[in-house]
Each structure stands twice: as C-alpha cells, then as structure tokens.
Amino acid sequence: MIPRHILLALSAATFASADTLINTLQQNGFNDFASIYQDADPSILSSVDAGSNMIIYASKNVQGTTNSTLRRRDTTTNTQIAAMSSVQNTASSSKKLRFKRQNADSSPAVYQSLLNDPEIVNLGQGVNQSLVEKPVEGVPTVFAGAGKAVPVVGDDITFDGGVIRPVDSLLEIPGSIANTLTLFPQLSNLTALLIQYNLVEPVSEAAGITVLAPEDSAFAAVDTSGLTDEQIVAILSQHVIVNYVGYSPLLKDGQVLNTLANGTVTVAVRDSGVYFNGAKVTAADVIVGNGVVHTVASVVGSEGAGVPEDGGDDTENPENPENPPATGAAGRVGLGLKTLGLSALGMAVAALF
C-alpha cells in the first residue's frame, strides 16, 4: 500500500495541469451541474479531490429528474444527486491508467457511488448505492434509478480527482421497489400481487436483493385460481433472490442463488440472453435502493428449468407440449418443486410447457 499522501504528491507532480472538479466543470460548460456540487454537503466535494480516482457523470441538462422535478432542490437533494453522480472508478485501478481517458466503448461494470443515505440505500453493511454502466447498441449507458437508461454523450474529461463523463441527463436517485415497480405498466400484476399478499414490506426492507419481475404476459400464462394464499406467496417469494444484488455485469453462467422461498435459482448466460431457471430476462438492471430488479418473460420455477442451447431457437412456443425446451425443464421443475413442497407452483409452471 502506498500511503495516500505520497499518491497525492505523485499525482500533483505528474498531472500538474489537472484542475479541480468545479473548475473543470465550469471550463467545459457544465455550470449548472457544478452548482449542484457547490450546493451539496461539502463532504462530497472533499471526497472527489485530487487522487480520488472517481468518475463523475455530469450533464448539461439538469432540469429535473423523473422524481425530483416537484421537489425543491435543497441541500439534501443536491447532496443525493452529487453523491449518486460520483462513483469510484474501479475499472482503471492500474496507476498508469488512472488519469487516462476511458475508452468510449466501456465494458459492463458495477460502480459504487458516494450515496450512502440510509433513507435510500439498503444494500448491506458498508455498501453504497451502486449503478451499472454497460453498452446498449454500442453506446455506453448508465443505469441508475427509476429504470432510466442514461447514455454517455461525450469523451471523458480529466480533472485532478479522476474523469468527468458527460451523460445525457441527471442520474435518478433510486427509489424503493414499490415505487419503482409502479413506473412499469407491464408489471401491474406483480405490483398488485405484492400488495395483496403483504409482501411489499418484506421485499422493500430486505437488504441487498435481486427481484425477478415477471411481466403481465407471464402471469396471463399461469392459472393461479386454484392456488392457496400460501402457494401464491411461495411463488412470489421464489422471485426474490436474497443477500445478493445480481447486477447484470456480475451474473455468471451456472451461478446458484438462494430465494426468499428457501429455494434456489440457477443463472444461465447464453448468446440469446440471460435466464433465471429458464425465465428469460427482458429488461435488466432496474436499480433500486435495496437492490436490483430484472424483468422476466415467464414465471420462475423452483430449480433447474431448461434454457436454450447457445445458437438454439428460444422463440419456440412454450405452450406447445410437442416442443419442450431442450433440457427437459418440465420434469426437473416438478422434482424441485416437490422437494420444496411447492407442487402447486409445479402445476402452474408445468402449464407453461
């Protein structure tokens, strides 16, 4: 470990021309964005000073975010926005690369921000609000709160504490799961079911979770009319991965994750997409204060459901029993469900194949 004061001295000597964040923002036309930092708690600016190796997601468009337009931008709001926009740059940990321009086609990464306000963030001990940056159709894009994808719109600009990365609009402060789900009309069934079965509180209060959110079309394919309340709660709980925030850049093929239903889901990463027990992810990385939400195309069974082979056709009709998924999902789901005592879910899921 090189002591911080030596690093600071080194960076000051080597990068004498690099300026402070505020000066660099102002020199590059980000005056309004600079005022957000100036009107925030001073601890934010001191956390992004010389040598701190941050990425600052800066925007020239600071006119309101989905969720803060109606709020007066007070110190608390400015602090939250500034903290959320400042992330530790773990992608260029090599000292040589520290102040080099980032390549525009960034690889998928999870970054931890300076936002640790307990009113918002509940990701586990010592973990700050995180966000995902990944390319979308070749454009580096930031996934922060409110399900919004914010494209990067310019090259990195160096300052003495890292780089300013221009983005299209302000990053959103992540909301709760309940508030965020209401932003997705295609998740109306899940939203209603969580309320009906008193699951909003346990799901919103759990620290560091991953929610697999079936779209309404997935519920339409399952007959829940014959199920007891306990069975429906078990089905819904199978969609909540506990003690693991599975941002998409972290997911690995074959990973087995525990659910709130005391079951497991297995991750499959294929050319055609990412699957949780065979349920295909349709929109990944909706960031919330206590984790991440991925929408999925079907209801998630208990374990080992099949996924298409690489290069295989995953558009086959799941309701056609002549054409089951390659790995025989239905049988294995049935076995897993018995183990879990969730046979009702087995029937419901079997109806999908």
Ligand X SMILES: *[C@@H]1O[C@H](CO)[C@@H](O)[C@H](O)[C@H]1NC(C)=O
Residues 52-71 that bind ligand X (CB under 6 A): 67
Tokens of 166: 């221009």
Point out which span in 25-33, 176-184, 242-250, 306-314 binds ligand X (CB under 6 A).
176-184
Contacting ligand X (CB under 6 A), which of 193, 274, 292, 350? 193
Residue 112 Cβ, how far from ligand X at the closest point, in Å?
5
Q: Which residue has the tokens 């209603």?
A: 192
Count of residues interacting with ligand X (CB under 6 A): 26
Could you say whether residue 219 binds ligand X (CB under 6 A)? yes
Contacting ligand X (CB under 6 A), which of 19, 32, 216, 309? 216
* Span between the terminal Cα atoms of the chain, in Å: 56
> In sequence order, what are the residues at sequence separation of 6 or more whose Cβ sits closer than 8 angstroms to the Cβ of residue 83?
40, 44, 113, 114, 115, 116, 117, 129
Q: Mind giving me the DSSP string for 194-242?
A: HHHTT-HHHHHHSSSEEEEEE-HHHHHTS--TT--HHHHHHHHHTTEE-
Q: How far is CA 134 from CA 37, 108, 112, 163, 287, in A?
A: 25, 4, 14, 17, 13
Contacting ligand X (CB under 6 A), which of 199, 234, 240, 350? 234
Characterize the bridge pairing of strands 291-296 and 209-214: parallel
Residue 109 Cβ, how far from ligand X at the closest point, in Å?
14
Residue 327 Cβ, how far from ligand X at the closest point, in Å?
26
Q: Which residue has the tokens 């402060």?
A: 173
Could you say whether residue 175 binds ligand X (CB under 6 A)? yes
Q: Mind giving me the DSSP string for 18-86?
A: ---HHHHHHHTT-HHHHHHHHTS-HHHHHHTSTT--EEEEE-S--S--TTTTTS---HHHHHHHHHHHE
Point out which span in 148-156, 216-224, 247-255, 273-281 binds ligand X (CB under 6 A).
216-224
Contacting ligand X (CB under 6 A), which of 26, 28, 35, 179? 179
Residues 105-134 that bind ligand X (CB under 6 A): 112, 114, 116, 128
Contacting ligand X (CB under 6 A), which of 56, 62, 83, 203? 83
Q: Residue 151: which H helix or E strand, with range? A: strand 149-151
Cβ proximity to ligand X, 118 vs 138, nearer residue: 118
Cβ proximity to ligand X, 17 vs 225, nearer residue: 225
Contacting ligand X (CB under 6 A), which of 224, 258, 266, 327? 224
Point out which span in 184-192, 265-273, 293-301, 329-337 binds ligand X (CB under 6 A).
184-192
Residues 250-309 that bind ligand X (CB under 6 A): 261-262
Could you say whether residue 146 binds ligand X (CB under 6 A)? yes
Beta bridge partners of 31: none
Cβ proximity to ligand X, 11 vs 189, nearer residue: 189
Residue 30 Cβ, how far from ligand X at the closest point, in Å?
21
Q: Mark residue 62 as left, alpha or beta (left: phi above 0; alpha: psi -120 to 50; beta: remaining).
A: alpha
CA contacts within 13 A on the Cβ side of 322:
0
What is the number of other CB atoms lying within 10 angstroms of the CB of residue 2?
8
Q: Which residues bind ligand X (CB under 6 A)?
A: 47, 67, 83, 88, 112, 114, 116, 128, 145-146, 175-176, 179-180, 183, 188-189, 192-193, 216, 219, 224, 234, 237, 261-262
